[in-house]
Structure 1
């Protein structure tokens, strides 16, 4: 149990956990991963026969991770120490692990949510949306992505090499388990209102965003790659059509103003694709990718090096400068006087686009190289 000043609810949680061990007839221990309690929670736990593991780094993920590595059992079950989960419901979860599952997840929507136990925005927006995205992005079979009552074999949990220290730890566990090919199963559990006399540590909007951000980091194609490729395609189509001259569609004429927006689409699209590549490289280099996943075995964008980026950037810069010189040459032919915007912008817009792309590609190459070099050290 991760614990931070839970003296009010901890005794009942300890009692339920002890009853569970005795009823199931297993050899087990109760471990409290204490995150710096100042209300005497440590003394309460030790008096009840629990083992207290102090965790200096604050955070839900840091506490759980420390507890997982300190645990001595073959199977590990975890839940908050606020009384919202009933440890006596661990029996079915243990059976799924004994039957061959690596990770056992509770499902609060199947087991029942007591009145007042979950805010409406979590129940009808946050959890359903994030669980749906987890199934969509990572093929995770569970219907309750963030249930706090869960378990797994110690071998599986420690093998995931979990890194995050906040609430996104819950997402990291199931995402890495799915990417690693671990078998996951779920069983119904209930959710009760917590017994605290203070606001919970959870902040629905902030922590929901942290979970979503973490999911997108692991699967950037939905946030960056696909939108970026769509923008690039649209921008290049606009260039191909409008560089030759205005396009008339009925009573509407598309001219250099539309060409300018096409250039913006190319630049934004390239930036989004670059962010997708940077996200993949970061996940790999930071050790967030599961050790057994394809991403870890085959480093993403291994061909994206600073040297190759510079070569392509030089070609783009040369093309941009060439187009710029042609635009200046045409201006010179007009004695540096007034020019038709429709004519000159067909040279200036692609010239500027190439020059900006050259700079973006150079910076992306340097940033990738910096991440790899810094993390190797």
Structure 2
């Protein structure tokens, strides 16, 4: 087994491929590293395969299109202990990879390049990518997963091959970059970041990256792997705010200041928040349980006990109590109406208990559906 494979995904990179291979080979020779250059070709039609073979690189064909598909196949085809991956568009300096190698030799599992620390040449990164896309998505990655990485989407990165294969990476598109970092962190990999430079690519054609479509794929991946931020935190916030509004306005309107007067409309909004919050919190429970069962999300002993406590029977008992409260309120309203010979009722006195009681009935039904959905998914497994 050699020490290092320098892996490049390739789709019609004839203009820059030879230069990238030459720099990578020069780096291996200059530093006495036993390694090779591997091109994961994604169906090039411009002769890139011939160029790569002529330059002395290994080539593996990848029929399935996609950045992630090419890299996954390349990682599996590699026979080295370490892999350093980078784009074949001549934007990364393959002659200066020693910081990555040193960090890998120091037992870091994943070594990320940081273009913002190393330097981004003028024209190397589009304005939206540099000041909106990369900073925002990197911030969300740190927020959602507490990953200590400042440049989430740098394409130049190195890793321990065997450990990376253990993660079962599966994203075929550009979101593969996010999947690698997120799953590595969730599985307690040692992640290290080194400065690297980014130069304008040497191609005359536009890049494969689609700003909005690929940006959405990255964002979608982050959300799907963080049920806390997608469901739980918004759900708890809605529940808390809704409960406060309903509790304060159940007896009647309140005046906070001269210009702020809360009445029935605010009560309705509080009830809406309670319904949304209960649904969102239930989805958080289902998503977290499924993530734990599938191995997608790691789980601690305390989290396991917490998830195990929420059985269908407990959810149904909770739902029954909420339903009983709601039906009691509606029965009170019906009794009041009967007491007035089913005639006109006071708007102010009857609307509040009807809204609150109706909300309790809706929440109870939502809990039943959530409980049975969780049980269906559990039994399907």
Task: Report if TM-score (shorter chain) is over 0.5.
Answer: yes
Whole-angstrom CA distance in 2 between matches of 1:71 and 1:82: 21
Partner residue of 1:151? Answer: 158
Unpaired runs of 5+ residues, structure 2, are: 1-7
1:28 paired with 2:27, answer no
User: How far 1:13 sits from its partner (Å)?
Assistant: 1.7
Whole-angstrom CA distance in 1 between matches of 2:377 and 2:170: 18
Whole-angstrom CA distance in 1 between matches of 2:174 and 2:294: 19
Partner residue of 2:253? Answer: 246
User: How far 1:182 sits from its partner (Å)?
Assistant: 1.7
Secondary structure in structure 2 of the residue aligned to 1:316:
helix
User: How far 1:58 sits from its partner (Å)?
Assistant: 2.2
Unpaired runs of 5+ residues, structure 1, are: none
Structure 1 residue corresponding to 2:263, chosen from 248, 255, 258: 255
Structure 1 residue corresponding to 2:318, chosen from 301, 312, 315: 312
Partner residue of 1:347? Answer: 353
Matches within 5 A, 1:74-223: 74-223=81-230
Whole-angstrom CA distance in 2 between matches of 1:48 and 1:139: 42
Moved more, 365-374 or 122-131: 365-374
User: How far 1:307 sits from its partner (Å)?
Assistant: 3.6
Partner residue of 2:291? Answer: 283
Whole-angstrom CA distance in 2 between matches of 1:296 and 1:273: 18
Whole-angstrom CA distance in 2 between matches of 1:300 and 1:169: 31
1:17 paired with 2:24, answer yes
8 A Cα contact 1:218 1:280, kept in partner:
no
Moved more, 26-35 or 363-372: 363-372
1:271 paired with 2:271, answer no
1:294 paired with 2:300, answer yes
User: How far 1:250 sits from its partner (Å)?
Assistant: 5.0
Change (3 A) 1:67 1:307: farther
Whole-angstrom CA distance in 1 between matches of 2:135 and 2:263: 46
* Number of residue pairs matched by the alignment: 373
8 A Cα contact 1:105 1:150, kept in partner:
yes
User: How far 1:357 sits from its partner (Å)?
Assistant: 0.9
Whole-angstrom CA distance in 1 between matches of 2:106 and 2:256: 65
Change (3 A) 1:257 1:136: closer
Partner residue of 1:5? Answer: 12
Whole-angstrom CA distance in 2 between matches of 1:277 and 1:35: 39
8 A Cα contact 1:85 1:190, kept in partner:
yes
User: How far 1:201 sits from its partner (Å)?
Assistant: 1.6
User: How far 1:295 sits from its partner (Å)?
Assistant: 8.4
Whole-angstrom CA distance in 2 between matches of 1:63 and 1:371: 32
Whole-angstrom CA distance in 1 between matches of 2:102 and 2:129: 29
Aligned-residue CA RMSD (Å): 2.4
1:329 paired with 2:331, answer no
User: How far 1:76 sits from its partner (Å)?
Assistant: 0.4
